[in-house]
Structure 1
Amino acid sequence: MRVTQSMLSNNFLKNISNSYEKMGKISEQMQTQKKITRPSDDPVVAMKGIAYRTNLAEVQQFKRNFTEAHNWIDNSDAALDQATQALQRIRELTVKANNGTLEGDQRNAIAKEIEQLRDQLKEVANTKVGDKYLFNGTDTLNPLVLDVDPPKVSGNNKPVKLELAKGVYIQVNTDGTKVFSEELFTNLNTLINKLDPNNTTVDLKDDLANLDNSINTILNERATIGARDNRIELMEDRIDQQEVSASKMMSDNEDVDMEKVITDLITQESVQRASLGMGARIIQPTLLDFLR
């Protein structure tokens, strides 16, 4: 086959164009620090990148759910701590009132304080964080205890569960109908009535037993909350590790090795200069070159 000058020129220009294209791609990798900028650059890397990004987004959503879970757990435990203190104070007052030597006005003063503590328990039962009531199950828009006399408990005890891992749902709320039952408020009202100053005989043994049961119920619920919190913390540590792993896998798949890219760029520049020099030698001079 006869090789003509035009064939040499066309091949040279084609190769130079390819060389510039390679340099452009390497330069683009240096600027973006990514192996590819479009799926067509490497479909395998692109497909893996979609999977890794989906996994990372899922893990990051779980991390946001952990924040919400801690919000429920921490505020519920703090509220139950206040309820425990209120009931323990009521018990102290009841023990004091059970002393037969107290006069009517003294029992009346104790009854007034217990009334205030009862109302405080109502407020704790209706604890609200943001726009959510903590103790009314899934009905977070309405309070647990209605402000009537005697207090009425709404009765929603459905669990609030959050997905904290793939397919793993953890309950984050407390059953308010168990802790702040209508029976609790009925017993407190009965206790207050017994402390009427005109009542000369006061026997509060049953009331003390009821208070002990209520306190134990709250303590048991707080123990349950503590156990859930421990599990949530363990799961959160695992999710943090998964986030690190997912980020690393995505980085290994997409991010360039800068040392390699710089080396490739220097090599390609050398090839480019050599090609230009070779082209200058093989392309024959034209008539214009002789007329200079």
Structure 2
Amino acid sequence: MAINLRVTQQSIATRVMTGLQGNLGRIGDLQQQLSSGKILSRPSDSPTGTVSAMQLRGEMRATQQHARNAEDGLGWLNTIDSTLTSVSTQVNRVRDLTLQANSAGASSAPEAREALAVEVENIREALIALANTRYLDRPVFGGTTAGGAAYDANGAYVGDAGRVYRTVGDGTKVRVDANGPEAFGTGPQQLFNVLTSIATNMRENAGSLGGDLDNLDGVISSIRTQLADVGARANRVTNMRQTAEDRLLTLKTQLSDVEDIDLPETIMQLKLQEVAYQAALAATAKVVQPSLMDFLR
């Protein structure tokens, strides 16, 4: 037996208003997306998309930090490279002076030997200043020392044996400092001690300059080794920085795919919803058109 349901104007109006409100809600959502440019404005819009966006943003922050670390590391390494290059130039000048004094021997005039010794001493003071070169107020040859210098005025090392590292990738750390003793030697073969000995022997014992030359060549070799090592580390950090920047671009693209709207498609959807809303309004006007006044006429 069929059951006949009674349909009233009130029930029709209720269903129509519910449909219109739903249509308006969809138009409002599309307008919100167009105004913000984002598909996701709250987690309920897409729980899975929200999780993906959060993961991508977390990876972006880590990658940005790696890029900043690499930039800071390059600042250290470039400072060391330019300093060691200057040191190498001045040490080579000392070697030329030492060869000149050794060739002349004790037969040269005392005034000439004194002039050579004074120049070597001036170069020594300049080299101590270079050995105390700082980056962001930290001595690049002083290890992890909290002091402001790696060497004192007499050329004695006052830093420590600590090493400075920067994390430039997931599980990738690169050393960005250069320890003073590794670059300038230790004991009698330390650069500043060798220069003191050279200046003294120029004045008093030119025959001992041959041994000083051997020690000086050892220091020059250490400086060249350090320069090669610093250059290799700088290349590695540069590559890691480029890798981080490339990865950041990829992550931004992926995040845009998750969060950002497709502008042409969203505009088209909005226009379709507006047309549908206008059609619904027109249909509603015809459905609920009769009123009590129509029957009283």
Normalising by structure 2, report the TM-score: 0.92
Instruction: Indicate whether 1:194 and 2:198 are aligned.
Output: no
**Bigger share in helix:** 2
Q: Evaluate the alpha carbon distance shift between residue 190 and residue 200 of structure 1 in structure 2; reply closer, same or farther with a 3 A threshold.
A: closer
Q: Displacement of 1:200 after TM fit? A: 6.2
TM-score (norm 1): 0.94
Q: Does 1:282 align with 2:282?
A: no
Q: CA RMSD in A?
A: 1.7
Q: In the alignment, which residue of structure 1 is the partner of 2:141?
A: 135
The residue aligned with 1:240 is 245
1-structure distance, mates of 2:146, 2:170: 25
**Match for residue 162 of structure 1?**
166
Q: CA deviation at 1:236?
A: 2.2
Structure 2 vs 1, CA of residues 201 and 130 (structure 1 numbering), >3 Å: closer, same or farther?
closer
Partner of 1:21: 25
Q: Any conservation in 2 of the 1:77–1:222 contact (CA below 8 Å)?
A: yes
Alignment of 1:178 with 2:182, yes or no, is yes
Task: Quote the Cα distance in structure 1 between the aligned partners of 2:115 and 2:69.
Answer: 47
| Percent identical residues | 29
Task: Report how many aligned residue pairs link the two structures.
Answer: 288
1:155 Cα offset (Å) = 4.2
Structure 2 vs 1, CA of residues 36 and 200 (structure 1 numbering), >3 Å: closer, same or farther? closer
* Structure 1 unmatched ranges of 5 or more: none
One-letter code of the match for 1:250?
L
How many angstroms apart in 1 are the aligned matches of 2:226 and 2:296?
102
Residue 184 to residue 270, structure 1, CA distance change in 2 (3 Å): same
Q: 1:10 to 1:218 in 2, by over 3 A?
A: same
Gaps of 5+ in 2: none
1:268-279 matched pairs, under 5 angstroms: 268-279=273-284
CA distance in 1: counterparts of 2:263 and 2:34, whole angstroms: 7
Deviations 1:171-219 (A, max 9, x none): 11112122234522222212211122xx365331000001100011000
**Structure 1 equivalent of residue 222 of structure 2:** 217
Q: Structure 2 counterpart of 1:142, which letter?
A: G
| CA deviation profile, 1:109-155 (whole Å, cap 9, x unmatched) | 001000010001100100012322111111254311012x3x22024
Instruction: Find the counterpart in structure 1 of residue 210 from structure 2.
Output: 205
Are 2:63 and 2:244, in contact at CA under 8 Å, matched by a contact in 1? Answer: yes
